[in-house]
């Protein structure tokens, strides 16, 4: 009797022995706090993004908050954010007193709709946050960045899901005034938790560094604090862990592409895609009965989930709802997230696709967001 196939979790990282070796080597030095490894990690992230400065911090959520602080946004300032997606983005701003205003997404891309962005602008708007949804760095991002420049509005690019993605020669995290990354377990490169702020502007990088280190990164030498800040510093153990993975970033991205290509062979025309021939971070299909599809896939050892919501359907943000968010509601109502971790192999992609088809559930064809 054949043993049942192993459970495929929603997210499973891919970590080789070199990761443990790098962490061990850092521990052996006896230096654990933020130092040379953290600086090297930030510099490498900036190099990958094609910009000048990278400032690591404790999470992607915190990176967004640090970005807002570096830009000088104040409590009460309005910031435009996409109406569908992970709660982290909106929480990053609301938690420090900014006032979010939701912008409807384009169904094909999962990203802010440019026309809706223009319509939602008010005299109180002080910044825009664009989320590279599932790694989407396409023409819509270029258009949003151009619009923000025309309006004199800073653009925070939430590139949490897009490390290594690019569009027309530019890399994720470099399109906005300031970019942000996340290194949670679901990402292509993970340190468990962690994030970074990316910017071409040294003054913004310095302000970010000040905010995450008690207002003055030099205070240990001078015993003087020139600004107000807090302690949101990264550390060299996590930095060494991250650097070991960045050395194989191309291989990690190729692994992602291979698993996605195998899944796409089974579900071509039904999978969410991103531009540039790249694999999205998530493997997403749309179904008439998503809860039933998730249940039936789990019964086959496929750890699917209904993952995100129209943000106004969270009680704390109910006051931000209203008419005109049909695409965001449809994403919440129909999107099913299939296993997407970097641990997936090509045969796993084929198994997932076959299992989806075997359930017999009706899927919706998706229009390319390229």
List, for residues 282-326, the tens digit of each pLDDT value. 999 999 999 999 999 999 999 999 999 999 999 999 999 999 999
Query: What is the model's pLDDT at position 167?
Result: 93
Mean pLDDT of all residues in 334-354: 97
> Do residues 207 and 265 share a domain?
no
> Do residues 337 and 207 share a domain?
no
> Do residues 224 and 266 share a domain?
no
Residue 329 sits in a domain whose CATH number is 3.90.1150.10
Mean pLDDT of all residues in 174-179: 97
Number of domains in the chain: 2
Q: Is 138 exposed, middle or buried (0-12, 13-18, 19+ CB in 10 A)?
A: buried
Residue whose C-alpha is closest to residue 341's, from 194, 195, 238, 189 = 189
Per-residue pLDDT tens digits for 49-108: 999 999 999 999 999 999 999 999 999 999 999 999 999 999 999 999 999 999 999 999
Q: End of a domain among 216, 246, 276?
A: 246
Q: How many CB atoms lie within 10 A of CB 115?
A: 12
> Do residues 235 and 288 share a domain?
no
Per-residue pLDDT tens digits for 257-290: 999 999 999 999 999 999 988 999 999 999 999 9
Residue whose C-alpha is closest to residue 212's, from 53, 31, 56 = 56
Mean pLDDT of all residues in 332-346: 97
> Do residues 232 and 280 share a domain?
no
Do residues 188 and 342 lie in contact, with contact meaning Cβ atoms separated by under 8 Å?
Answer: yes
Q: With 50 as the cut, is the pLDDT of residue 1 above it?
A: no
Helix, strand, coil abundance in the chain, percent, nearest 5: 40, 15, 40
> Do residues 57 and 175 share a domain?
yes
**Is residue 2 helix, strand or coil?**
coil
Query: What is the model's pLDDT at position 192?
Result: 96
Query: What is the model's pLDDT at position 3?
Result: 63
Query: What is the model's pLDDT at position 137?
Result: 95
Query: What is the model's pLDDT at position 2?
Result: 59
Instruction: Judge whether 118 lies within some domain.
Output: yes
> Do residues 125 and 142 share a domain?
yes
> Do residues 136 and 275 share a domain?
no
Per-residue pLDDT tens digits for 61-74: 999 999 999 999 99
> Do residues 173 and 300 share a domain?
no
Instruction: Judge whether 158 lies within some domain.
Output: yes
């Amino acid at each position: 009797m054949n043993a049942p196939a192993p459970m495929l979790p929603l997210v499973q990282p891919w970590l080789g022995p070199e990761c443990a070796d790098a962490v061990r080597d850092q521990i052996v030095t006896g230096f654990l706090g933020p130092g040379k490894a953290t600086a090297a990690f930030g510099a490498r992230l900036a190099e990958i993004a094609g910009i000048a400065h990278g400032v690591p911090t404790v999470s992607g959520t915190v990176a967004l908050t640090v970005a807002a602080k570096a830009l000088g946004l104040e409590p009460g300032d309005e910031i435009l954010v996409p109406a569908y997606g992970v709660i982290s983005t909106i929480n990053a701003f609301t938690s420090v007193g900014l006032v979010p205003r939701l912008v409807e997404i384009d169904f094909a891309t999962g990203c802010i709709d440019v026309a809706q962005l223009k319509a939602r602008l008010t005299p109180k708007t002080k910044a825009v946050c664009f989320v590279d949804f599932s790694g989407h760095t396409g023409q819509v991002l270029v258009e949003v960045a151009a619009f923000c420049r025309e309006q004199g509005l800073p653009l925070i690019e939430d590139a949490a899901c897009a490390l290594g993605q690019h569009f027309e020669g530019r890399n994720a995290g470099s399109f906005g005034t300031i970019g942000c990354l996340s290194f949670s377990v679901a990402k292509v490169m993970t340190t468990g938790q962690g994030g970074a702020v990316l910017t071409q502007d040294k003054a913004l990088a310095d302000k970010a560094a000040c905010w995450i280190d008690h207002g003055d990164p030099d205070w240990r030498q001078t015993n003087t604090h020139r600004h107000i800040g807090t302690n949101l510093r990264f550390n060299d153990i996590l930095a060494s862990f991250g650097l070991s993975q960045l050395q194989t970033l191309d291989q990690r991205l190729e692994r992602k592409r291979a698993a996605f290509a195998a899944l796409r062979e089974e579900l071509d025309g039904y999978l969410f895609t991103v531009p540039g021939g790249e694999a999205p971070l998530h493997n997403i299909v749309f179904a008439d009965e998503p809860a039933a599809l998730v249940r039936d896939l789990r019964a086959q050892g496929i750890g699917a989930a209904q993952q995100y919501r129209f943000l106004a359907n969270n009680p704390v943000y109910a006051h931000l709802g209203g008419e005109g968010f049909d695409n965001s509601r449809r994403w919440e109502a129909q999107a099913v997230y299939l296993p997407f971790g970097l641990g997936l192999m090509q045969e796993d992609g084929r198994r997932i696709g076959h299992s989806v088809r075997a359930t017999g559930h009706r899927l919706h064809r998706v229009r390319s967001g390229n």
